[in-house]
Chains A and B, each alone.
Chain A
Amino acid sequence: MENAIIGNMIDLCAVMMLLTTVLAVAMTHMKPLIRLFSAQSLFLAVLALIVAYSSGTSHIYIMCGLTLVLKVFVMPRMLWYIMDRINVGREVGLSLGIPGTLLASGLMMVLSYYITEPLLATMHTVERNCLALSVSILLIGLLMMCTRKNAITETIGLLMMENGLFLGAVALSHGMPLIVEIAAFFDVMVAVIIIGIFAHRINRSFNSVDTSFLRRLRE
């Protein structure tokens, strides 16, 4: 009974992460998008807390704390800061319309359930569900990176993909080894910083953070 309820709560957090991802695809403005990313990270932290409590694995607590500090507070602040610094517009810059992207992300969800089904036929329901959700968040994040033109929106797509990955790692195998997790966190931190500098440079060269300018050859 208790196991079933804990399983349900894990499912719930995973689904809330998917929900925030789908809503993020539907957003046309930057600020709600950043808030949704921090909400998604918050659900990841709660999920990690539940897994840590139920499995008794102590290093997941550390991962939970890191997620809470870095992804819920620090990275959104950094993105705000970058946005303020380079005066980027509030629009996210679409190259495919929102209904189209949403329908495509629906296809991604179907696809991820379809491909994970034979893989884990013997697994527990909760784990199977989390794997499918993790793959769909990954694919939707990738889709977001492909269909947006704004450098900062693309960064958020990357961060959301990363959250999906952690969801899979925590729910399925009770986390990666601590050193790998910390390395992954710092990777992402560094990625955000580099992308920030990069966005700054794109902005200076083209007066916009629209990455489609990068395709042009300049003499």
Chain B
Amino acid sequence: MIPTVIGILQAVALVLVAPLVSGIVSKTKARMQGRGGASVLQPYRDIRKLLGKDSTVSGSTSWLFRAVPFVCMGSMIVLAMMTPFIYTGTLAPFGDLVAVVYLFTLYRFSMVLGGLEGGSAFGGMGSSREMMMSVLIEPALLLAISTLAILSGAGTDMGDISESLSGMGLLAVGPALILAGASFTITLLAENARIPFDNPSTHLELTMVHEAMLLEYSGRGLAMMELSSMVRLTVFMAMLGSMFFPWGVATTAEPVDILVSVAVTSAKMLLMTVTLAAVESVLCKTRLFKTPNLLTASFMLSLMAMMSLYIL
């Protein structure tokens, strides 16, 4: 009973904390650029404002356009239930890693359809760029997570992997974990439209990828698309924190463990958020046709991680 309650609470917390994570990233970036920046709570206000507005939908679109925000939000909520954030006993017992990778793909695919539905030139352009990158992201992501599954020897459920790895202690830190972690970090940046791959804060027509697909959305639809992309970033960070560096995550439902885990997880999330902001401040967005360079490197690293497990 109690584990289920904690499972529900951590999924809710993951969704609720997502705008805060985005807020901290933008605030830190603003500070690094010497600006004051908006409050860290600004994303909550934006979403509330958008939720109260009417949605304008082009007459040439079909039901698909209106369904896309629900599919995106839904797939991210399911993912939030699968991810071990504070406690390794996740709510969804079907948190299989193949399902995880393909939920991310479902999200991306429906967003691409939404971009195409609007019929604008930008939407189509953004969609085609997103698909080009996704071809390279997907194998790297799948390989990196599978490496963890093999390393932990605990099956393919994310909660089990996290539990088993945190039980292994320092012995788990080996070539495989580091290489897979590096590959996953590059994937995190690419998948969440972050700076070497895409600039999340631009609306410059020629460079945007993610934003181009959201151009036609307004009101409630836009609020859901924005929120789901924030949840996607937070889920990625939670996966990095609780699966690649799982020390401190609660493996039992004891109150003390949970409290320690809340503290450690907040510290880890804060660290990752600030690091992300720093990475975004020192790097510049690369040309679209140069992105395969880094993505191939990410794929090679995860392949190497997988290989080092089989050969040793």
Q: Which residues of A contact B (CB under 8 A)?
A: 4-5, 8, 11-12, 14-16, 18-19, 22-23, 25-26, 28, 98-99, 102-103, 105-106, 109-110, 113, 117, 125, 128-129, 132-133
19 further A-B contacts with Cβ under 8 Å, apart from A5-B170, A5-B171, are A11-B174, A15-B175, A15-B178, A15-B179, A16-B178, A19-B179, A19-B182, A19-B301, A23-B297, A26-B296, A26-B297, A28-B290, A98-B293, A98-B296, A102-B293, A105-B300, A106-B300, A109-B304, A113-B308
State the Cβ distance, B152 to closest chain A Cβ, in Å.
16
8 Å CB interface, B275-312 against A: 290, 292-294, 296-297, 300-301, 303-304, 307-308, 311-312
Q: Is B173 engaged at the interface, CB distance under 8 Å to the other chain?
A: yes
Out of A22, A25, A109, name the residue touching B307 (CB < 8 Å): A109
Contact across chains for A26 and B304 when beta carbons are under 8 A apart = no
Contacts A/B (CB < 8 Å), 11 sampled? A4-B171, A8-B170, A8-B173, A16-B178, A19-B179, A22-B300, A98-B292, A99-B292, A102-B297, A113-B311, A129-B308
The docked-state distance in angstroms from the alpha carbon of A106 to that of B171 is 26
A25 to B307: give the CA distance in the assembly, Å: 20
Cβ contact within 8 Å between B296 and A129? no
| Residues of chain B lying within 8 A (CB to CB) of residue A22 | 297, 300-301, 304
Give the 7 A-B residue pairs with the shortest CB-CB distance, closest first: A15-B175, A26-B297, A98-B293, A99-B296, A102-B296, A106-B300, A113-B311
Which A residues lie within 8 Å of B296 (CB)?
A: 26, 98-99, 102-103
CA distance A92 to B28 in the complex (A): 33
CA distance A213 to B308 in the complex (A): 40
- Evaluate whether A12 and B300 lie within 8 angstroms (CB atoms) in the complex, with A110-B307, A125-B312 already known: no
**CB distance B300 to A19 under 8 Å?**
no
Inter-subunit contact B304/A18 (CB<8 Å)? yes
Docked complex Cα distance between A25 and B312 (Å): 25
Which residues from chain B contact A125 at a C-beta distance below 8 Å? 312
Of all chain B residues, which has the CB nearest A16?
A: B178
Whole-angstrom distance between the alpha carbons of A113 and B303 in the complex? 13
Q: Which residues of A contact B303 (CB under 8 A)?
A: 106
Which residues on B sit within 8 Å (CB–CB) of A28? Answer: 290, 293
Least CB separation from B311: chain A residue:
A113
- List, in ascending order, chain A residues with CB within 8 A of B182's CB: 19
B-chain residues with CB within 8 Å of residue A18 when the two chains form the complex: 304
Quick one: closest B residue to A23, CB to CB?
Answer: B297
**Bound form: Cα–Cα A125–B308 in Å:** 11
Cα of A113 to Cα of B304 in the assembled complex, Å? 10
A12 and B312 in contact, given A19-B182, A99-B296, A110-B307 (Cβ under 8 angstroms):
no
Shortest distance from the beta carbon of B299 to any chain A beta carbon, whole Å: 8
Whether A12 and B311, one on each chain, are in contact in the complex, defined by CB atoms closer than 8 angstroms, is no
In the complex the two chains form, is A19's CB within 8 Å of B178's CB? yes
Q: Is the CB of A128 within 8 A of B173?
A: no
Expressed in whole angstroms, the Cα–Cα distance for A19 and B180 within the complex equals 11
Residues of chain A within 8 A (CB-CB) of B307 are: 109-110, 113
Closest CB in chain B relative to A51 CB, distance in Å: 17
- Whether A8 pairs with B174 at a CB distance below 8 angstroms is yes
- Which residues of the partner chain A approach B170 to less than 8 Å between Cβ atoms? 5, 8
CA distance A154 to B50 in the complex (A): 55
Contacts of A16 in B (CB 8 A): 178
Q: Tell me the complex Cα distance, A186–B50, Å.
A: 66
CB pair A128 B297 closer than 8 Å: no
8 A Cβ contacts from B214-273 to A: none
B175 touches A106 (CB 8 A): no
Do A12 and B301 have beta carbons less than 8 Å apart? no
Does B178 lie within 8 Å of A12, measured CB to CB? yes
The one of B173, B178, B293 in contact with A26, judged by C-beta atoms closer than 8 angstroms, is B293
Q: Are A128 and B312 interface neighbours, CB within 8 A? A: yes
- Cα–Cα distance between A187 and B175 once the two chains are bound (Å): 31
Closest approach, in angstroms, between the C-beta of A169 and any C-beta of chain B?
20
Residues of chain B within 8 A of A106, CB atoms compared = 300, 303-304
A98 to chain B, nearest CB (A): 4
Please, how many angstroms separate the alpha-carbon atoms of A129 and B173 in the complex? Answer: 14
- Closest residue of chain A to B290, judged by CB? A28
How far apart are A160's CB and chain B's nearest CB, in angstroms? 16
Considering the complex, which residues of chain B in the window 145-186 have a beta carbon less than 8 Å from any beta carbon of chain A? 170-171, 173-175, 178-179, 182
Nearest opposing residue in chain B for A25, CB measure: B297
Closest to A14 in B: B175
Rounded to whole angstroms, the CA-CA distance of A19 and B185 in the bound complex is 13
Looking at the assembled complex, report how far the CB atom of A3 sits from the nearest CB atom of chain B, in whole angstroms. Answer: 11
A128 to B311, CA, bound (A): 10
Q: How far is the CB of A40 from chain B (nearest CB, A)?
A: 14
Q: Which chain A residues lie closer than 8 Å to B300 at the CB level?
A: 22, 102-103, 105-106, 109
